[in-house]
Chain A
Amino acid sequence: MKIKNLVCLLLAILLCGLAGCGQADNTVRYRLDKAASSINSETVAQNERYAMEWDDENKNIILREKSTGKSWADIPLEYLSNGGSSESVNSTINITVYEVTTSNITEVRGYSGAVENGRLFCKKIKNGIRLTYCFDDYEIAIPVTYTLKDDCVKVTINGKGILETGEKYKLISVSLAPFLCSAKNDDPSAYLFIPSGSGALMYVNENGRKTRKYAGELYGEDASRIIQESDKNETAVRLPVFGAKSGDTAILGIVGEESGTTLIEAEAGNTRTHYSSVYPKFYFRGFDNVTHPNNGSYIERISEDISKRNCSVEYYPLIGNEADYNGMARCYRNYLTKNDKLRQSDVEQQPYSVTFLGGIEVSKLFMGISYTKLFSMTNYSQALEIIKELDEQTANSSAVRMMGYGDGGISGGSLAGGFVTNSDFGNRKQFNELKEYTSNNSRLFWDYDLIWMKKSGNGFSYSNDVSKTAILMKAERNQINVPLRDFNTKNAFRVLKRSLISDAMDKLLKKAKKQGIDGISLSSLGSVSYSDYGDTKYYEKAQMSSDVRSIIDKAVKNGSKVAVSNANSYAASVADIIFDAPSDNGGYFVLDANIPFYQLVFSGSKPMYSSAVNLSGNIKQSILHAAIGGMGLSYTLINDYDVNFSSDVTQKLYGAVYSGNKTAIVSAVKKYNEFFEKIENSKLLKYEILGNNVSKSEFSNGVILYANNSDKTAESPAGILQGYEYAVVTQ
């Protein structure tokens, strides 16, 4: 009897379970339909300056400035008034989905995928509106909220609200408001602002050109992503901003810090829609590029779980004098200041900086037995001698950064080079002498790599304390050989687990304190953003910005000065000094002009130095870029060079030997200092492209610099300029 009852009970449970499974899809869709509603065209939110309107007919959000009547819309109003019917312009959201069975990736437009089928639902919320796009064919629903704030509209994808009920399709990414930041191609003054490198413009005119497309991953490629090839050196997007100018209006988009993996995409001079636009694409699933085990072809594999974070963009409308890239830079600077994210540094800007490279691992033979040895390229005494000599001969002091003074040198070893400076470079006395000499103006920084490691040490394991990729492999990177750019498969660098970065910093601060080091350089931490699919908290680069900021805060509170290098916005804004600040846009063909947006944002708040002038392919151009942005020059030096350095060495050590560079440094710095003294303690206010490859940089103390950005002679308001020359005018 008892057994019968038990069997009946089990059967009942099983039936209930099965019934539940069958109902899952319908239940979700039912709940969505019940919750969804629609509203008529009306003003959904307003404040003193702006009104946000919902156009139910066109399913369009319009932001209107009350005083001038200027408007910005998800679907350009002029386009609608001209009866435009392009599916791409009518789509206020696009998604990409991954078909599980075929591994195909498909882009689905919001218009044909949801709106046209009547599957866009909207609901008024406080100060805004919530739109839910239901892509029924893919069983995916995306909730997007538009919230009016004092001076902007915040558009957010609520990650937790994303529904993905089917088994066949997986959501990968969402492109948000693709035409909110747009301009009509026939406007000759219009352009898109792209944050590639230091900043770039894409002119929207068609002029017989093909549609130009740009895509750049915000904060650079995810270090925890498996890649198969790397054809060239890409220039990363360091600032979470993008914009468009058209006529006397402009709009700036600032990607929210919590947004994680984001691609900034742009299309200029689109010959079909005749509109140009720039927009963010948020990733909700990570992916790895792997080799097919059977045929060797490249295939993509995505992460199993979806990221539940919110992704947002704040759109700032700009009018009149503010409606250009200078205004956009001011707007972003104000945004950082207002949100208490831009720290004013008290470190003094010098006209130049010097980076010393300590050691490098070289392979040697002893009785035929190969072994690696740390070769000292610049020891403490040599560095001190060089600093003294340069101080004396240039009549200026420099900011000094010491790289590769830990375990493994610049070849890499255990995490942060073992957190200590290696005794191979000199004894304690020599170390202290160097410290003492450079103690004034906080000008000495020791670089620690808190992300990459090549072996275990100091409690951080090369095997276990490693981030995971989207398909849960250990995240690692190989070096690239010239000229065929194939990967050197030996000695891969691995990426530290995201959850351990803070612990590593704690250890570093403790050890640095013990050694009396107060200038810490975090080159890799400031420039590398990555995910860790071993922990749901860190999917899709989530929290990277806030984590790094809090780590740097911790160091600052500890009394340290923090330097970063080629840094992402979140690190650059809170650091005390920026080395290797980006000074060009990467030279992408699709980009039309180079602008020092990065410098417009950060100049005056902290010292900034260019990338190494002496290692640059075009030295004159490097110095010019530094001058345009009001930055200090930078030099990377070593004292000793060995012709037997491995051919695998990817660093440009050949150009760093001090003896070969001394004369050039002294003369360049002396000349540069004539300009630098004039702009001392001022910041870059405005940058203008005058035509004929001449640009104008205006500094806050009234100094104007005219620069010839080409190799040909050009005429400027300050007279004839030779190729890559500049002239300074003091008002």
Chain B
Amino acid sequence: MMKKTIMLFGAVLLIATMLFTTVSAAPTDAFSKKNNANGSSTSTLARDMYSPTIKISADTLGLEKPFEGISDICFDADGSIYILCGGEGNARLTVLNSDYTFNREVLVTENGKPVDYSGAQGVYVDKNYNIYISDKVHARVLATDKNGNVIKSFGVPDSPLIPADFIYQPTAFCMDDKGYFYILSLGCYYGALSYSPEGEFLGFYGANTVKASALATLQFLWSKLTDNDTKKSQSAKTLPYSFVDLCVDSEGYVLTCTGQTDYNDNGSGQIRKTNSKGANILYKSSNRGKAESSTAVNFLEDKVVRRNKHNYVQNIVSIATDTEDYIYILDNTYGLIYVYDKECNLLNGFGGGLGNGDQLGTFANPVALAVYQDTLLVADFKNCSITVFKRTDYGNKLYKAQSMQIAGDYEQSQELWQQVLDVDSGNQLAYRGLANYYYSCGEYENALKFAENGMDYNIYNLSHQELLKASLAKNFIWVLLAITVCAAVIIYVVIRLKKRGKQIITNQKVRTFGGVILHPFKTFGDVKYKKRGSMIISIILIALLFVSYTLKSTASGFLYRTADSETFNLFFVFLQTSGVLLLWIIANRLVCTLFSGKGTFGEVFIASAYSFTPLIATTFIYVVLSHFVPLSASGILETLGVIGWIYSLFLLCISMITIHEYDFFKFLSTSIAVIFFMIVIIFVIFFILVMLNLSGQFLTDVFEEITFR
């Protein structure tokens, strides 16, 4: 009693109060996704696209019996609402007018006798107002006229396509414009059952597939080779996830959703749109201008929250589309509703309650959603109610603007996007929309600015190209002239100095280092035999390697920047660069000692550091060029990076051969040993860190116990 009532009461209000007291506390906050530079996305607060307006229940309608066992809702073509309650022995179908007033109870009869459809899970009304009730318990779909007189009943099809062990439990029904219809059977992993307009069973349609992994493939092969009949009979078979709901979009494509997948992962590809062959044609237009299949898209959150011993894995239970083919999905676990456009961009998420919703706009056990024009309904099994959401003014603008954006009507959408941005300044879709508009108008500077804010790499790249082109066209002569003059001056100075016998660099060690790119054998020979290697230069080089890679992530041009200020980990970059190099140096010295290597620690240190000069140089060049090079020419940068790596490894090879006085094959064999030893060292370090972490945790616990008291 005390636990839930007092514990949860006011918790977030309190947090909202302490941080920011000017917002009235809606039960939950709407959200959208923010794309990050590192390719990930995070959920952020957003303005409400839909606002809950009313909760409909039996008592608000003045009905005697509550909507117990409410399992599905749908709209008909006129916006009347059909509420299916499939309670045991208490099944009923209630119809409400579009203004949410009671219209009638549909009495389902066959030959004048009432039909029992207790346990029914789905209701659908076609354009002729015929009603289809998916009666799971009685293994049939009842087709009735609008008065509830049964016209036809669809039982398990008599077809060789139906497997012998098939259990027919219809839970959902939908029909396309041509009259083809689809029935979903609970737990059926073959896909939906498809029927012709005449009611002829056509076969299974659009099944999910089992995700393959390298490990799973190896396991499969191993099983093939080793399993006997006994083992096979005892092994578990991996089956694809079955659909939990389906609907048809305006073009007649079937959209399906998959419910809860893994216990520790919300997975991806939960929504599919299938063509007539059952192939998934739903794609996401990425912010890099590419289209990727929805199978790679996680329509839910990346995170799985653990509370009170349980992992709260999201579970899609219902899907709907509207006239613009926007996709609405309902997550039963958190009570969240997600609105996606037809290109899988999240417009808004809202709802909530986490199985405990007791306020308008939250849910305890949401089971179904339905969409009609600007109205969205969600049925809650536990609260025996329906919550009506209306699209807000902001929502209407966002909806229209995104529809125009998808249709390529950038000009018309500009004003709407600006209005969206006025009240939702963090909306990346609006920035992207405006970027598109400005690009289409030829206002590339503006397009660049909005594309950066909207993380739209495609428009940024195109605008950047245009600006670069314009800039080069305007200043090509001057740029060329400047480069020529600079080159001429440098060449002249060098020739003059050489003629006079003067050297630009007088320090012997620096001069030795200066030769590492063009005269590596001589340089490493000097390091080994003339002791002309510099420890200071080596340390600077190792530091520069780290700095160059840091800059590559953080200071490259927008198109190539991968660091996110919130998640960027400098220490990780250090480990990846200087850390690995230092580890190589240590491992090399230790291993090569055993293999008659002649190099001292200092020599290995210097030689290794010198070897990475090309990589450091190309990385710095990469950072500079990345501000100018468009994505279409990104190959130049990639090639530069590859050249840097190859030449550095080549230098490393030469340096090790020279320092240790090895031949190539000995170098190769010792290098393999060194790499193996590096892995061992990493493992040991990791092991020690785990031990330290555990000890630290123990000490922290003890410390907290002491200090918190």
Contact = CB atoms under 8 A, between A and B. Distances in A.
Contacts of A296: 306, 308-309
A415 interface: no
B185 interface: no
A208 interface: yes
A548 interface: no
Contact of A367 (B52, B359, B390, B551): B551
B405 interface: no
Contact of B708 (A220, A232, A472, A528): A472
Nearest to B336: A483
A222 to B, nearest CB: 8
Interface string B233-266: 0000000000000000000000000000000000
A618 interface: yes
A208 B58 contact: yes
Contacts of A185: none
A83 B12 CA distance: 45
B491 to A, nearest CB: 34
Given A483-B31, A523-B17, A216 B9 contact: yes
A368 to B, nearest CB: 4
Contacts of B308: 228-229, 296-298
A365 B554 contact: yes
Interface in B414-433: 421-428, 431
Interface string B333-367: 01010000000000001001110111111100000
A337 B15 CA distance: 32
B421 A660 contact: yes
Contacts of B22: 355, 403, 565, 579-580, 611-612, 615, 634, 636
Given A105-B1, A483-B31, A527 B21 contact: yes
Contacts of B28: 232-233, 482-483, 485
A403 B22 CA distance: 10
B43 A647 contact: yes
B2 A173 contact: yes
Contacts of B31: 482-483
Contacts of B601: none
A473 B706 CA distance: 10
A6 interface: no
A674 interface: no
Given A483-B336, A650-B15, A229 B425 contact: no
B18 A587 contact: no
Interface stretch (B212-220, B472-480, B507-515, B562-570): B562-570
Interface stretch (A18-26, A338-346, A438-446, A638-646): A638-646
Given A622-B24, A634-B22, A650-B19, A589 B568 contact: no
A612 B426 contact: no
Interface string B294-314: 000000010101111100100
A326 B327 CA distance: 47
Contacts of B99: 712
B51 interface: yes
Given A221-B11, A643-B431, A655 B47 contact: yes
Contacts of B383: 589
B18 to A, nearest CB: 5
Contacts of B23: 580, 611-612, 615-616, 636, 651-652
Contacts of A619: 393
Nearest to A230: B11
B112 to A, nearest CB: 29
A612 to B, nearest CB: 4
Contacts of B137: none
Contacts of A355: 22
Contacts of B58: 208
A634 B383 CA distance: 34
B303 A217 contact: no
B422 A452 contact: no
A614 interface: yes
B392 interface: yes
Interface stretch (B59-67, B119-127, B160-168, B534-542): B59-67
Given A208-B64, A477-B14, A479-B19, A657 B422 contact: yes
Contact of B18 (A231, A451, A586, A652): A451
B565 A365 contact: yes
Most buried by A among B14, B44, B305, B423: B14
B6 A524 contact: no
A208 B11 CA distance: 32
Interface in A573-588: 579-580, 582-584, 586-588
Contacts of A300: 2-3
A369 interface: yes
A524 B306 CA distance: 31
A215 interface: yes
Interface in B10-51: 10-31, 34, 42-48, 51
A223 B303 contact: no
Contact of B34 (A369, A641, A647, A651): A647
A172 interface: yes
Most buried by A among B6, B305, B424: B6
Most buried by A among B13, B361, B393: B13
Contacts of A482: 28-29, 31, 43-45
B356 A231 contact: yes
Nearest to A527: B17
A590 interface: yes
A221 B13 contact: yes
Nearest to B25: A233
A587 B388 CA distance: 13
A660 B202 CA distance: 55
A654 B30 CA distance: 12
A654 B9 contact: no
Contacts of A646: 566
A230 B309 contact: no
A196 B24 CA distance: 13
Most buried by B among A235, A582, A588: A235
Nearest to A484: B305
Contact of A586 (B17, B30, B359, B707): B359
A712 B101 CA distance: 12
A730 interface: no
A654 B424 contact: yes
Contact of B12 (A234, A589, A610): A234
Interface in B268-307: 301, 303, 305-307
Nearest to A478: B15
Contact of B568 (A370, A524, A590): A370
A334 B34 CA distance: 52
B422 A220 contact: no
A644 B565 CA distance: 9
A582 B46 CA distance: 22
Contacts of A364: 565
A237 B28 CA distance: 18
A430 interface: no
A394 interface: no
B453 A643 contact: yes
A228 B383 CA distance: 24
A289 B34 CA distance: 33
The 4 closest A-B pairs by CB, nearest first: A660-B422, A587-B360, A611-B24, A221-B10
Given A225-B7, A618-B51, 6 more contacts: A234-B11, A296-B306, A481-B43, A617-B392, A622-B24, A652-B20
20 contacts: A172-B2, A228-B7, A232-B359, A233-B12, A233-B26, A236-B14, A295-B309, A300-B2, A367-B547, A449-B18, A479-B19, A482-B28, A485-B334, A565-B22, A621-B51, A643-B425, A643-B428, A651-B19, A653-B426, A655-B47
Interface of A: 96, 105, 107, 172-173, 207-210, 215-217, 220-221, 223, 225, 227-236, 263, 265, 287, 289, 295-298, 300, 355, 363-365, 367-370, 403, 410, 412, 449, 451-452, 463, 472-474, 477-486, 493, 523-524, 527-528, 565-566, 579-580, 582-584, 586-590, 610-612, 614-619, 621-622, 634, 636, 641, 643-655, 657, 659-661, 710-712
